[in-house]
């Protein structure tokens, strides 16, 4: 069993380890889960990710409860002599309640790479936070990350039935992944920008104050703007600025917060977008981190603005599963390659 240290990072280490264990059939134990965080140990969304990925590869788990700093994950051990690890991942479906406003998109992140090992389609129906704190909003997942992996061979489809904002959650979404063959992910140049879309959503009771419209006011003049008011269990809002380039995509997201003007929410995302366009990175920092497991599995190269602590710890987990990811400085950017 692979013994992993989760003490230097957050939930991304859990999600990466789950995906790679399902793909390779290699069991693991993770210790010191999120030890450096203010609320160490597994949280609701991490437990939901473990349950979801376990369902797709018939894994046995241990120590999976909120607050636990150690857990085990063992994909089914019924591989015959002439079978491979991929024979564990047979498809099916699962319904999981993430709990409160635990992030639904982050649970989906753990499941996506498993498509390369599927024999049959697999569907995950989740209830929780679609637009939650400390996680990319649903529109970032739907309009930035998912299109990138789809463009590189991953067959997946997502639907949103109900929004779930922090802190109550209650959102509902469904992800279906199909057996897929990933192509090499080469995202080293942006090329010309082909579109820019601002997605601004708020809970329906906030329409009177035009919260969604005000969030979108700072969007660049050439951006298409999509405003939505959604039924949800509690008030909340989110803003995502999604840029599509000739060779890549990038996204910049902010959640509305009590005491923060809606205009400021939009301004923060726009400032991040403008800083990105002033540089030479091909993808935003969040996307670079989330794409690393796909690059490790399929090969490729990504140009990022810098190597963040998130990236460093994620690379360490990849190496524990035998994947070699190199980091090379190139001017004001870094190249991540496998």
The reply to whether 109 sits in an annotated binding site is yes
Question: 211, 234 in Cβ contact below 8 A?
Answer: no
176 three-state secondary structure: strand
> In whole angstroms, what is the distance from residue 138 CA to residue 166 CA?
13
Which residue among 46, 143, 152, 310 is the active-site one? 310
Reply yes or no on whether 310 is catalytic.
yes
What does the DSSP 8-state code read for residue 177?
E
Enumerate the known binding-site residues: 109
**Catalytic residue positions, numbered:** 310
Residues within the annotated binding site for ATP?
Answer: 109
């Amino acid at each position: 069993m692979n013994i992993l240290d989760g003490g230097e990072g957050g939930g991304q280490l859990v999600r990466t380890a789950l995906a790679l264990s399902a793909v390779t059939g290699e069991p693991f134990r993770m210790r010191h889960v999120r030890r450096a965080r203010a609320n160490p140990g597994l949280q609701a969304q991490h437990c939901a990710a473990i349950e979801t990925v376990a369902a797709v590869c018939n894994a046995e788990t241990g120590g999976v409860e909120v607050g636990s700093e150690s857990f085990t994950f063992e994909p089914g051990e019924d591989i015959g002599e002439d079978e491979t690890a991929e024979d564990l991942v047979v498809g099916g479906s699962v319904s999981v309640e993430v709990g409160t406003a635990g992030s639904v998109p982050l649970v989906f992140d753990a499941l996506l790479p498993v498509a390369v090992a599927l024999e049959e389609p697999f569907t995950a129906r989740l209830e929780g936070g679609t637009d939650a704190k400390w996680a990319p909003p649903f529109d970032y997942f739907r309009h930035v990350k998912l299109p990138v992996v789809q463009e590189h061979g991953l067959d997946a489809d997502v639907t949103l039935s109900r929004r779930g904002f922090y802190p109550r959650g209650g959102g509902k979404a469904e992800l279906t992944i199909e057996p897929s063959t990933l192509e090499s992910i080469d995202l080293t140049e942006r090329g010309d920008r082909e579109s820019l879309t601002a997605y601004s959503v708020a809970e329906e009771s906030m329409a009177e104050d035009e919260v969604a419209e005000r969030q979108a006011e700072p969007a660049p003049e050439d951006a298409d703007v999509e405003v939505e008011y959604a039924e949800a269990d509690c008030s909340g809002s989110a803003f995502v600025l999604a840029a599509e380039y000739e060779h890549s995509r990038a996204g910049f997201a902010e959640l509305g917060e009590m005491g923060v003007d809606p205009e400021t929410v939009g301004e923060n995302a726009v400032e991040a977008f403008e800083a990105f366009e002033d540089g030479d990175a091909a993808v935003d920092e969040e996307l670079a981190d989330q794409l690393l497991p796909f690059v490790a599995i399929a090969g490729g190269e990504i140009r990022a603005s810098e190597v963040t602590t998130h990236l460093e710890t994620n690379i360490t987990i990849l190496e524990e599963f035998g994947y070699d990811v190199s980091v090379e400085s190139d001017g004001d950017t870094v190249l991540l390659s496998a």
